[in-house]
Structure 1
Amino acid sequence: MDGFNFKGLQKSLTSLGGQITPFATRTFQYTKEQLGQVDDKTQLPPDYIDLEKRVDALKAVHQKMLAVTSQYSHESYDYPPNIKETFQDLGRTVSERVSLLSSATTPAEAQAALTAPSTAKPQPKTFHHAMARAALSGSQTLHQQHTGAGEDPLATALEKYALALERVGEARLAQDAQIQSRFLAGWTTTLNTNISFATRARKAVEKARLTLDAVKARVKGTTWKLPGASSARADHHVDEELSPEAQEEIEKAEDEFVTQTEEAVGVMKNVLESPEPLRNLAELVAAQIEFHKKAHEILCELAPIIDGLQVEQEASYRKSRESAS
């Protein structure tokens, strides 16, 4: 190590700092900061930092909400994982099967109606559709084994329940389609476009800030400090009056930093003040309300029919017991 010239190395590094590419200059400055070699890092305005925090919070909200609500894009999100339905089970809608069954006059015709080949695409795999198919299957099983007069009341009730649940399932699919187009699309656009624009603008600010500090360090001769090296030369350069060229270079970097900061502030404010996320959330709620309202109406239509069948069966049951006694 004898004869090693620290000042000569610093001079070489300082000269090199003026020749390397902007990317390398910024990387060099960033490395110095990470190693604690910078004492006068340019600080961003408090208002700017506050905007960054708010944009980060908005981004986190979008990511978390989309992680959950993206399930509305998957038809079978509520489909029971424990049931095994065949292609034949999914071949026709419940209403189609009921229509075919209504014209059947023998058990064989009824069975043929249940196993008739599909006339359209496979039926939806949703919880409500699965319940409808199970109820209709149960209805037909009871009808086929019924030997008394009239219809089996439970079989009749199950068939009506199946028709109602299929309508509820269709309402759920309509809800999902609305949520996909009116909420998911909007929030995805905000995350991938608007918030991404803000992220790019912030990166431009950081690049301009690193460039500015790198220029300051280079013209003042403080490009790098080696452990144990004397800082006398650096102090000497700090005290010296900067040349017009050096001052002009610093001012140019400062102007770029200010410009990028102002642009980023504008972009972040636009993102934070945009009414789109709240408008999209209102659409999500509206779609959910519409589904639950429709489901409520369908089940309210069904309930008195089921209740009537149940009352009739109880009356018949009491009558048969009285006759038996």
Structure 2
Amino acid sequence: MSGFDFNKSFQSIQGSVSGFGAQFSPFAKRTQQLFQEAIGNAEEKTQLPEEYLELERRVDALKTVHQKLLSVTSQYENESYDYPPNLRESFVDLSKTIQEKVTTLSQAQSASEAQAILTKSTPNKEHKTLNHALSRASASGAQALGDSSEPLAVGLQKVAAAEAKIGDARLSQDALISSKFNSAFSATLNTSLKIASKARKNVHNARLTLDAAKSAARNAKPERQVAARVEVEQAEDEFVAATEEAVSVMKNILDTPEPLRNLSDLVAAQLAFHKASVEVLNQLLPEIDELQSEQESKYREGREASS
């Protein structure tokens, strides 16, 4: 084992470990302080101002507001949120689409024309909303009656057209809520509130560093007391700066009118949908009532004539 100096190698390893420990000493000190607080043995624990703690509570409440509303309004991004689960339209629609394409393909004059038919998107997309389902059911019922001039068939056709318009208006509402409300609230969660969370984390770390420095200064040897006081002063400055920054960030988030603007967009989208629905139904109902009155008159006349 000649040529190997054990003491020299050990000193080298020890120096590396010491360097590694020095590099992570702020983290280690914070961790030790946090552990001492957890078990109730901390000598120091700086109390944060009540104003700061109140801001934290309000920011947490604002975050909860965003999360709860988004958990509901995210449903507007799912087209079929009100679609009847017991409907079995998918297979019928698919069969109808395939049959239509087969018929069209049989008329193709070339391979390129056939390719175009196969890749062409299906017109009049079968939207999966309650209103569109009502529209299709009404149209199918009118077709099943055979005579398109029959009062019930006419009424069903009118209902089919009206429900399709209402369904389209609902999809427009959903798109507005998704693009204006959901995107804005999600952006707040992923940016502003995350910035506030980071600022609060900085305060937390600065407070732990300060209390660790105070504890170290309390137990410092005489030759380390001056350096320990300097460390405490530096830690105090960093703590104050971090707290002031976090207060500024949290106040800015809480004071912004952005959430109210987002709520206004949400309500405006709903209002536009309901107004459109009212207009369509206000036009539809008198037409159905007129058809019903005409049929009742004919029915009474027929009964009177046969009696």
TM-score normalised to structure 1 length = 0.77
Deviations 1:234-291 (A, max 9, x none): xxx8xx8983222111000000000000000000001101111110000100000000
2:195 counterpart letter in structure 1: F
Change (3 A) 1:249 1:119: closer
SS in 2 for 1:306: helix
- 1:23 counterpart (24, 27, 41): 27
2:198 paired with 1:194:
no
Q: Which runs of 5+ in 2 are unaligned?
A: 1-17, 97-119
1:64 counterpart letter in structure 2: K
Q: How many residues align?
A: 265
SS in 2 for 1:86: helix
2:167 counterpart letter in structure 1: G
Q: Which residue of 2 aligns with 1:101?
A: none
Q: Which residue of 2 aligns with 1:251?
A: 233
Change (3 A) 1:295 1:316: same
2:139 paired with 1:139:
no
2:136 counterpart letter in structure 1: R
Change (3 A) 1:241 1:274: farther
Q: Which residue of 2 aligns with 1:128?
A: 131
Once superposed, what is the RMSD of the aligned Cα atoms?
2.4
**Residue pair 1:139, 1:154 contacting (<8 A) in 2 also:** yes
Q: How far off is 1:28 after superposition?
A: 1.0
1:214 counterpart letter in structure 2: A
1:11-160 map, 5 Å: 19=22, 21-86=25-90, 88-89=92-93, 119-120=122-123, 122-142=125-145, 144=146, 146=147, 151-160=149-158
Whole-Å separation in 2 of the counterparts to 1:86 and 1:64: 33
2:272 counterpart letter in structure 1: E
1:178-257 map, 5 Å: 178-221=176-219, 243-257=225-239
% identical equivalent positions? 54
**Residue pair 1:205, 1:257 contacting (<8 A) in 2 also:** yes
**Residue pair 1:91, 1:120 contacting (<8 A) in 2 also:** no
Q: How far off is 1:151 after superposition?
A: 2.2
Moved over 4 A (4+): none
Q: Kindly indicate which of the two structures has a greater share of residues assigned to helix.
A: 2
SS in 2 for 1:36: coil
Deviations 1:72-108 (A, max 9, x none): 111111111010003553799xxxxxxxxxxxxxxxx
Q: Which residue of 2 aligns with 1:268?
A: 250
Whole-Å separation in 2 of the counterparts to 1:86 and 1:51: 52
Q: Which runs of 5+ in 1 are unaligned?
A: 1-14, 93-116, 223-236
Whole-Å separation in 2 of the counterparts to 1:91 and 1:123: 13
Deviations 1:21-61 (A, max 9, x none): 21121111101100000143100001000000000000011
Whole-Å separation in 2 of the counterparts to 1:200 and 1:121: 49
SS in 2 for 1:83: coil
**Residue pair 1:30, 1:210 contacting (<8 A) in 2 also:** yes
**Residue pair 1:91, 1:118 contacting (<8 A) in 2 also:** no
Deviations 1:101-145 (A, max 9, x none): xxxxxxxxxxxxxxxx97427321011001100111111111x2x
2:305 counterpart letter in structure 1: S
SS in 2 for 1:258: helix
Q: How far off is 1:162 after superposition?
A: 0.3
**Residue pair 2:217, 2:228 contacting (<8 A) in 1 also:** yes
**Residue pair 2:129, 2:167 contacting (<8 A) in 1 also:** yes
Whole-Å separation in 2 of the counterparts to 1:241 and 1:281: 62
Whole-Å separation in 2 of the counterparts to 1:89 and 1:39: 73
1:283-322 map, 5 Å: 283-322=265-304
Change (3 A) 1:57 1:251: same
Change (3 A) 1:122 1:256: same
SS in 1 for 2:89: coil
Q: Which residue of 2 aligns with 1:106?
A: none
Change (3 A) 1:266 1:28: same
SS in 2 for 1:124: coil
Whole-Å separation in 2 of the counterparts to 1:283 and 1:88: 38
1:124 counterpart letter in structure 2: H
SS in 2 for 1:43: coil
1:135 counterpart letter in structure 2: S
SS in 1 for 2:84: coil
